[in-house]
Structure 1
Amino acid sequence: MASRILLVILFLIGFSLDVSAEFPLKATFIRDHQLWLKEGENEIQLTENQHVSSPQWSYDGRFIAYLAGNKDGEKQYLTIYDSKNNESYQPYQNVETASYKWSPTTNQLAYLDEGILNVTQTKNGRPQAFENVALGVSNFEWFPDGEAFIVSSQTDLVPTGWGPVPLFKVPLDTHLDTKKIEPFYTIQTNLEDLFAIDTAYFKWSADGNWVSFLAVPTASWSNDSNTLCVISSAGDNFQVIGKMLGFEDWIKWAPSKNQLAFISGEGRFFVENKNTAITDIPSAALPKEYTPKGYVDLDLEWLSPDKIIVARSKDHKDWNEGPIPIMYTSLYTIDLKTGEQKQLTFPKDNELDSSPQVVGDTITWLRKVEKQGIGDVWVIDRINGRERLWIKNIESAPVFFNVGN
């Protein structure tokens, strides 16, 4: 009897190990300015003698697009790492861009080059060369079906002031044919309620029926305040949601319903007035805020349809001059149904936890020591599990390839 019980226990242990190992964590990250890959516990350096930034996974995980320049970080060019052939290459020679995005349905890369929206062609199964799509583009995102783009064009300054901000729907096969481009929506702006000259960070809801974005004012103004907006996929329902700073990771759609979480509040310093807020879309009421009095939230992530994770610190409302206080953040969970809030991570006195990410059943975050530019990635395999160190000496949060997406 005892031997049978032992066999059952060993089987269950083996089964659980197989399940946890079926989809190991897979991420690309930057260390010593080089591109690295980690899958499970295996770590590989992908570049040498370069200055790398901004890696992005292709939809199927075969390719990683990134910027690569010389050791001084000058003139960074669009580059692609091909995991199948274990090599990096430029899809087109010496493309300088700060905005590039993979198609959600194919291994096709779109990028902006001096206001021209381009997409890569395909040669031997990988992105190679390019073709022009549209001119005069300042910001873009793929539609969820991969067949078109939503784009904006920065408004003009005329003697009477700044004009409205136009949005367009641009088919993938436009080839600079302006007759194929459809007006999507025009943002009417004014100094009192909604001042903007451009947009940033288009993000689609889980069902693809809504897209959020920031309406961005002139540079100095945008350091203190931007306007979070949403618009329906048909372009017929536009709503202003609230004011916030211009951080892409501070805007997150719920994983399975039309709820939008963001960190609200104006003012460029993190010392006060940074609150986690959530609203249903379309919105019929003001967003509900969850940050307790005396605290600020400086990062967020959805844990489940009814729970979120925030990086929280005590506020410093009394600060008004001298060195800006260090915000020692820890991770907290917020249950949206019950309102219960619990501390999740417990960094030491000189540490801060930030950049929470949820990949499947795993929670990850970046832990740094005060005033240090590098940190370590920690993970919890389950919400009630034990935290463990996963990646050491990393320059910024890793970019995960989520098998479930």
Structure 2
Amino acid sequence: MRIISIVLLLLFLFPFISVTKAEVPLKAVFVRNHQLWMKEGDQEIQLTKDKYVYSPKWSYDGRFIAYIDGDEHGEKSNLWIYDTKRKEHFEPYTSIETTSFSWSPTSNELAYLSGWVLNITKTKDGRPSGFENVSLGVSSFEWVPGGNELIVSASSNRLPTGWEPINLYRIPKDMNLNVKEAKLLYSIPIDENNLFAVHVGDFKWSHSGKWVSFLGTPTPSWAMDSNPLCVLSSNGKAFKDIGRMLGFSDWFKWAPHASKLAYISGEGRFFVENKSMTIADIEASTKQVEYTPKGYVDLDLEWLSPSQVIVARSKANKSWKEGPVPTMFTSLFQIDISSGIQKQITFPKENELDVNPQAAGSYLIWERKRDEGNNGDVWMKQNEQKAAKIWIKNVDYSPIIFKSN
């Protein structure tokens, strides 16, 4: 009878034990004083010395970190890789200079642009090594979710008859410069009075892989104030001009499990007004809803769940007209898009601002900065916890968190 009671007790407790088990510690890379660091759980490890690191990116399985070793003047941009298994840095090929690179979503292959040439690394002993030419004339690219193709764009040129269309192609990763392998996906007509862009980029695929969003970039002075946000179906049959926004890639993101695109809408290069968190329902004839209250601006966003969005919000400053641009002291707000209920969830001190929210599992992570400096501390809290805590001190910019596929 005693044994039966113990068994029944274990059966009763088992569901609760499985739910409350500890999560795998968060793993992230970050840059501190221009050097690459890694943090896993509570442990911090400095990975580089005497470099000028930016743009670190995790490989799909978390073994490799690609990054740029540059300089403060922007005259150098060499591609390096850190192998977390062998604990060593290496160049996939001697002196690759690039500012645009992306890991495959399914393998440890790294695609990158060198000039207008798209290349993909070969693999040797399980590591990226060497490269193969894929395509010429590429201005921007991204992997297609399956990992066997890429979407690429070719910039528009100004002709006596006007601007050329911007052409988007789907190409196989083993194209090897064979132009016959490139398939035209869509041709975007350019009109200075309607949809104006010289090239497009920042491709992001929806969760289902049915849609891809991207930003258009006009001529430099125009791009400071307005960039078209567009969406294209994966088969190239449906194109949607969503709206106008500033050219920040983090300001538009797909919902976790739906064809809904959240973005910070509004033209004008200054953050003082006219910046609203807007959600476009791509399947519902691009129905759009703005969630920013009057008198406020939203200056970043993140999906916390399929029905909740986090925004960095500040009061608008319509009185500013000239002189130094005022700092917008943002704090984080949580928006329930189902009910419309909004609430403030972080409370920075005077002259502090909370920026760059990120969601990772049950964690919400953000950077808290001070008005007088560029560096900040990384804060975190779990959904069910009320108290937030500092996770990483003194970062140059927000960490890149490894999220397993």
Same-fold call, TM > 0.5? yes
Q: Distance in 2 between matches of 1:92 and 1:222?
A: 34
1:283-322 maps to which residues of 2 (within 5 A)?
A: 283-322=284-323
Contact persistence 1:49–1:70 (CA under 8 A): no
1:301 and 1:175, CA in 2 relative to 1: closer, same or farther beyond 3 A? Answer: same
Checking the alignment, whether the CA contact within 8 Å between 1:49 and 1:71 is kept in structure 2 is: no
In 2 relative to 1, CA 381–213 (structure 1 residues): closer, same or farther, beyond 3 Å?
A: same
* Structure 2: distance between partners of 1:18 and 1:338: 28
Letter in 2 for 1:95: I
Distance 1:52 1:15 in 2: 42
Q: Given the two structures, how large is their TM-score scaled by the length of structure 1?
A: 0.94
Aligned to 2:353: 352
Letter in structure 2 aligned against 1:183: L
Aligned partner of 2:186 in structure 1 is: 185
State how far apart, in whole Å, the 2-side matches of 1:386 and 1:168 are: 48
Q: Does 1:201 align with 2:190?
A: no
Partner of 1:19: 21
> Aligned residue for 2:376?
375
Q: Deviations over 1:349-382 (max 9, x none)?
A: 1100000000000000000111211100000122
CA distance in 1, matches of 2:330, 2:65: 31
How big is each residue's C-alpha offset from its partner over 1:237-271, in whole Å with a ceiling of 9 and x where there is no partner? 10111100000000100001111000000000000
Q: Which amino acid aligns with 1:160?
A: T
Instruction: Give the distance between the partners of 2:391 and 2:161, measured in 1 at CA.
Output: 56
2: distance between equivalents of 1:73 and 1:160?
A: 36
CA distance in 2, matches of 1:151, 1:70: 28
What is the SS of the residue equivalent to 1:349?
coil
Runs of 4+ in 1 over 4 A off after TM superposition: 14-18, 70-74
Per-residue displacement from partner, 1:202-247 (whole Å, max 9, x unpaired)? 0000010000001221111011001111000001110111100000
Matched, 1:128 2:129: yes
Question: Residues of 1 paired with 2:52 and 2:108: CA distance?
Answer: 24
- Tell me the residue number matched to 1:46: 47
Contact 1:50 1:71 in 2 (8 A): no
1:247 maps to 248
Match of 1:105 in 2: 106
Q: What is the distance in 1 between the residues matched to 2:327 and 2:215?
A: 27
After superposing the two structures, state which structure 1 stretch, 271-280 or 65-74, moved more. Answer: 65-74
Report SS of the residue matched to 1:173.
coil
Scaled by the length of structure 2, what TM-score is found?
0.94
SS at match of 1:287: strand
Residue type matched to 1:138 in 2?
A: S
Equivalent-residue separation in structure 1 for 2:319 and 2:140 (angstroms): 38
Shift of residue 284, structure 1, vs aligned partner: 1.6
Give the secondary-structure state (helix, strand or coil) at the position aligned to 2:65.
Answer: strand
Identify the residue that residue 35 of structure 1 maps to in structure 2: 36
Who is 1:227 aligned against?
A: 228
Aligned residues of 1:363 and 1:383 also touching (Cα < 8 A): no
Amino acid at match of 1:209: K
* Corresponding residue of 2:275: 274
TM-fit CA distance, 1:279: 1.2
Q: How does 1:151-162 map to 2 (within 5 A)?
A: 151-162=152-163
Number of the residue aligned with 2:3: none
Q: Which amino acid aligns with 1:139?
A: S
Q: Give the Cα–Cα distance (whole angstroms) in 1 for the partners of residues 98 and 174 of structure 2.
A: 21
Q: SS state of the match for residue 337, structure 1?
A: coil
The more displaced of 74-83 and 337-346 is 74-83
* Pair 1:392-2:393 in alignment: yes
Task: Indicate how the Cα distance of structure 1 residues 263 and 323 shifts in structure 2: closer, same or farther if over 3 A, else same.
Answer: same
Q: Is the 8 A contact 2:54 2:70 kept in 1?
A: no
CA distance in 2, matches of 1:160, 1:69: 40
Q: CA offset at residue 69 of structure 1?
A: 3.4
Aligned counterparts of 1:151 and 1:354: Cα–Cα separation in 2: 31
Counterpart amino acid of 2:140?
Answer: N
* Partner SS state of residue 21, structure 2: helix
Q: CA deviation at 1:19?
A: 2.5
Per the alignment, residue 62 of structure 1 pairs with: 63
Unpaired stretches in structure 1, ≥5 consecutive residues = none
- Report the Cα offset of residue 383 of structure 1: 4.4
User: Following TM superposition, by how much is the alpha carbon of 1:76 offset from its aligned partner in structure 2, in angstroms?
Assistant: 2.3
Unaligned runs of 5+ in 2: 1-5
1:65-123 per-position Cα deviation (integer Å, ceiling 9, x unaligned): 00013687641200000001000100011111110000000000000000000000000
Q: Deviations over 1:373-394 (max 9, x none)?
A: 1100000122443101100000
Is the aligned partner of 1:236 residue 2:237? yes
The SS at the match of 1:249 is helix
Aligned residues: 395
Structure 1 pair 266–286 and aligned structure 2 pair: CA distance change class (3 A): farther
Structure 2: distance between partners of 1:329 and 1:242: 24
Shift of 1:336: 0.5
The one-letter amino acid of 1:19's match is K
Per the TM alignment, residue 286 of structure 1 is displaced from its structure 2 partner at its CA by 4.3
Query: Is 1:334 aligned to 2:329, yes or no?
Result: no
CA distance in 1, matches of 2:75, 2:164: 35
